[in-house]
Structure formats: C-alpha cells, structure tokens
Amino acid sequence: MTDFTTLGLAEPILRAVATEGYTTPTPIQRETIPALINGRDVLGIAQTGTGKTAAFVLPMLHHLSLDHNRPAPKTAKNLILAPTRELVAQIADCVKAYGRNLRFNMAVVVGGVKPGPQIRSMSQGVDILVATPGRLLDLMASGAIRLDHTRGVVLDEADQMMDIGFLPAIKRIMEKLPKARQTVLLSATMPAPIKALADGILFRPVEVSVAPQSKPVDAIDQQVILLPSNEKRDRLVDILSKLPQARAIVFTRTKRGADKVAAHLDEYGFKTAAIHGNKSQGQRERALDSFRDNKVQILVATDIAARGIDVDGVTHVINFEMPNVPEAYVHRIGRTARAGATGAAISLVDGTERGLLKDVEKLIGRSLGATGSFGGDDRGTVRPQSRTPHPGGSHGQKPARGGSAHGHGGGHAGNGGNRSHAAGGSGRPGPKPAGRPARPSANPNSPAQIAAAVSQRDGGREGIRRSAPKA
C-alpha cells in the first residue's frame, strides 16, 4: 500500500499530513499528487469526501516550498476557484492545515462581505488566492487583482459552479490567465458544458476518476418513502424522533422551504439550524459551526448552500424534497458516509416528484426500491418526456402543496442546461398542475381541456426552468 512518502512531497508537507492523521493517500491523491508535482494538468471526476482537496492543495504547497520569489503586488501565484463561500472557507482551512510548516501567504475573496479587507489582503500579492468567481471578477475589474502572474489554477466543483451560473465568469477569468500555467479541473459529474470547458482550458490532462460517474457511494443506505405531500412534515418529525442520536442534514429545494421546515422542527423540540443563500455570511458560518460542534442536531439546507459542507459524522441525509437536478441527489447524499463511515439517505417523495425520482434512478442506474404510496396525491407532475395529458383530476383533490416549498426561486437557472428536465416542483407559483380543469363545469376530456392541460403543463415546465431556485 502506498504511503505519502512515496509521492514526492516536500518534507514539511509530509509532516503536516502526519499531523492531520493521514497515513495512506486516498485514490485521487495517489493518482493526482505525482502528476501535479510533475507539472501535468489534471481532469478529476471526484465527489467531496474523496480527499480531493488535499489532492490539489498538497502539490500546490510543494511547488511553493521550492519557490522563494515574492509575489508581485496584486497578483496571485495560485488561484483556487470554488462555487460557494463555505467551500472557499473549507479549502482555505485545508491550505492552512497542510501548509502549517511552510511560509506563504493566502487571501480569500468571496461575495457577501465588504471588499475592503480583501482588496488590502491582495495589495502585496499572495501565493494562494481562494475565491468565488463573482467577487474575483469584480476585484479584477476594479484593478485590485491581476492574474497575469498566476501559474497554478484549480477549478473545484466545476459542475456546481456551472449550476450556479458561474460558467461565463469562469471563462472570463480563464481568458486573463497566462497560457503557460498548470490547471486542475475537478467536478463530481461531467455534463457536456463542463467537458467543453475542460477541453478548452486543460492541456493534455491526466484524467482521474475516483468514483463511477454519478454513482453514490456504496456505503450509503438509500431509502425512498412515497407519501402525500401534506404528510411530509409529520413523517419527517416521526423519522427524526426515532433517531435521537442522528446528526442529520435535511434538504429542501427552496430557501423559504428550508426556513419553514426548520421552524417546524424547532416547534417539535429539535435543535435545528438552517443554511441557505438568504442568510448572511455570519449566519451561515454560525449555523455550520453549531452543527459541527453538535450544538444543533439537524441542519436544514438548500443544495447550493450545502455544497462542500465537510462535517464528519453526518449519519443521515433526508431529502424533504427531491432536487430538480438529479446530480444534486448524488451531492446531497454524499454529505453522509464521508471518509469511510457509513450513512443513510432517506427521500420523502410526493406525487409531484415522481419524475424527479425517476430521473435520479436513471442517473444512478438502479431502482431505489421506494415504499409507501402517494395516496392519490400524484397530480401536477410535469414530465417532459411524456406527452400524454392527464385530463381532469379524478377526485377534485387540491393541488399538491409540496410541504413547505412555497418559496419562489427568484434566482437564475445559470447555465445548468440539464434543468430542462426538471419536473413540476410542488407548491410552486405559476401554472396550476396539469390535469386540473380550468373551470369545474368543463368536460375534462374535451379536446379544448386536453389542449389547455398540455399547454399548462408545458408552460409549467418553462416556468420552472426560469425560476430554478437560487439557494
């Protein structure tokens, strides 16, 4: 079995790795570290939890340990781009930990906080800059940061950066970088736009894939419970009551949904924190810290806010709502069973989410063996694949409310091309569910009603695409 000493890393880095308690490199580290030390570009397909951060940070520190030149003012020798403030903070923590025996300087540049301190931290230039793309572009535009001296670039969680809508920003940033550089692109999945980006920015990369694409880790026990949407909250309380020792992350699709679920759990006496894009940086950090320190047992989160959360010992991931994008399911459940532990994922799926469940099963290549039943609550489903309308709801049920997800996204779908597969989110504003006659007296089977149902459904699909939630 390989140990770290065979990878070619400088001695102060090996000492830091030992301090972290790592004895054996993970598969991505074993393949990536020697390639990066040798100056190669890397294209990595890897989820969080695989040790990917050390895989690119350790070689970066190795190169810095051999380079005694000071950075030029406002420049960064190395740039690490990540989708969220949380992930940037986590990467920066790793850089500090792995670089504890080296002298170098680092700056963190993220949105949501005042730019002044960030501008000052860049004034003398840095060895490593960890940033989110939006704020970096702003500071480049104002002249506070220059990338013309940058020789090492890492794009971490590229697919998530695309989902947030950062692809144009990334392309603009890449244009400002010198051609002679070393580039690493890491992504949990490899949708076509990311592959195209990789082809454009990497030079003969070493390709590393540490888990089959989009396959959840085997250590996760996955359960799916079908149920009417209005039973979701009670079922959630029920599940959590039976798991007094659980450290759980509950996922919702929308920010408002996260707040409502958190409030509901609070009412039932669960210690809960919510984390999503409407929370300030301070609130997000406090929520994460209290979850990490076990002060709260349950974290309720939206997808984007939860990206890259690296908390050990998460025992359960509960999908209160299925994600619009099937790949997000893989990311969500990857929050548990980290670093060799086991974990469980429980998805609560109502009738409107049937299509989303099918998309996930298609992606992971197997059935999730759902139990339970929608209890007649299966209307409003928008399936782009199926052109068969569902005229006339049979029993005049109310449209599915989708638990607490009444929030409107208000965000942008970014460049996430695969959002067009999004099935009808429950409780979204806009068109009524397909199959609901426009007027109670109309014959639901008349051609006009069928046409109206189809057009409502297709309109719904467009509406969903436009209003994909911004977490």
Specify burial of residue 118 (Cβ count, 10 A radius: 0-12, 13-18, 19+): buried
CB of 458 to ligand AMP, least distance (A): 40
Residue 22 near ligand AMP by CB under 6 A: yes
Residue 339 near ligand AMP by CB under 6 A: yes
CB of 154 to ligand AMP, least distance (A): 12
Residue 51 near ligand AMP by CB under 6 A: yes
**C-beta closer to ligand AMP: residue 95 or 197:** 95
- 208-217: string of b/e by CB count within 10 Å (b at 16+)? bebbeebebb
Among the residues of 49-131, which ranges form H helices? 52-65, 85-98, 116-122
DSSP of 166-226: -HHHHHHHHHTS-SS-EEEEEESS--HHHHHHHHHH-SSPEEEESS-TTPPPTTEEEEEEE
**C-beta closer to ligand AMP: residue 9 or 236:** 9
- 270-297: string of b/e by CB count within 10 Å (b at 16+)? bebbbbbbbbeeeebeebbebbbeeebb
Distance between CA atoms of 284 and 305, rounded to whole angstroms?
A: 8
Print the SS3 string covering 407-459.
Answer: CCCCCCCCCCHHHHHCCCCCCCCCCCCCCCCCCCCCCCCCHHHHHHHHHHHHH
Distance between CA atoms of 367 and 357, rounded to whole angstroms?
A: 9
Out of 49, 133, 391, 435, which residue is the one contacting ligand AMP (CB under 6 A)?
49
Site string for ligand AMP, 86-125 (x = CB under 6 A): ----------------------------------------
CB of 53 to ligand AMP, least distance (A): 3
Out of 54, 190, 346, 360, which residue is the one contacting ligand AMP (CB under 6 A)?
54
CB of 413 to ligand AMP, least distance (A): 27
> In the numeric block, which tokens belong to residue 319?
């999908």
Distance between CA atoms of 134 and 165, rounded to whole angstroms?
A: 10
Binding piece for ligand AMP, criterion CB under 6 A, among 22-30, 135-143, 219-227, 247-255: 22-30
Which phi and psi angles does 52 have, rounded to 5°?
A: -70, -30
Residue 307 near ligand AMP by CB under 6 A: no
Estimate the crossing angle of helix 281-292 against helix 85-98, to 10 degrees.
60
Cβ–Cβ under 8 Å, residues 113 and 282? no
CB of 60 to ligand AMP, least distance (A): 14
Residue 391 near ligand AMP by CB under 6 A: no
Binding piece for ligand AMP, criterion CB under 6 A, among 23-31, 127-135, 142-150, 453-461: 23-31
- 392-415: string of b/e by CB count within 10 Å (b at 16+)? bbeeebebbbbbbbebebebebbb
Residue 32 near ligand AMP by CB under 6 A: no
CB of 333 to ligand AMP, least distance (A): 15
CB of 251 to ligand AMP, least distance (A): 18
Binding piece for ligand AMP, criterion CB under 6 A, among 43-51, 130-138, 353-361, 458-466: 43-51
List beta partners, residue 370. Answer: none
Residue 7 near ligand AMP by CB under 6 A: no
CB of 91 to ligand AMP, least distance (A): 8
**C-beta closer to ligand AMP: residue 50 or 118:** 50
CB of 320 to ligand AMP, least distance (A): 24
Quote the radius of gyration of the chain (alpha carbons, Å). 23
Out of 32, 33, 53, 92, which residue is the one contacting ligand AMP (CB under 6 A)?
53
Out of 7, 9, 16, 25, which residue is the one contacting ligand AMP (CB under 6 A)?
25
Number of residues that bind ligand AMP (CB under 6 A): 15
Residue 48 near ligand AMP by CB under 6 A: yes
Specify burial of residue 386 (Cβ count, 10 A radius: 0-12, 13-18, 19+): exposed
- 93-105: string of b/e by CB count within 10 Å (b at 16+)? ebbeebbeebebb
CB of 448 to ligand AMP, least distance (A): 55
Binding piece for ligand AMP, criterion CB under 6 A, among 47-55, 151-159, 216-224, 382-390: 47-55
**C-beta closer to ligand AMP: residue 48 or 467:** 48
Instruction: Give the chain's largest Cα–Cα span.
Output: 81
What angle (nearest 5°) sits at the alpha carbon of residue 310, between those of residues 309 and 316? Answer: 85
Distance between CA atoms of 101 and 329, rounded to whole angstroms?
A: 38
CB of 52 to ligand AMP, least distance (A): 5
Residue 18 near ligand AMP by CB under 6 A: no
Out of 7, 30, 42, 52, which residue is the one contacting ligand AMP (CB under 6 A)?
52
Residue 310 near ligand AMP by CB under 6 A: yes
Site string for ligand AMP, 182-221 (x = CB under 6 A): ----------------------------------------
Helix (H) or strand (E) holding 101: none
Positions touching ligand AMP (CB under 6 A) are 22, 24-26, 29, 48-54, 310, 338-339
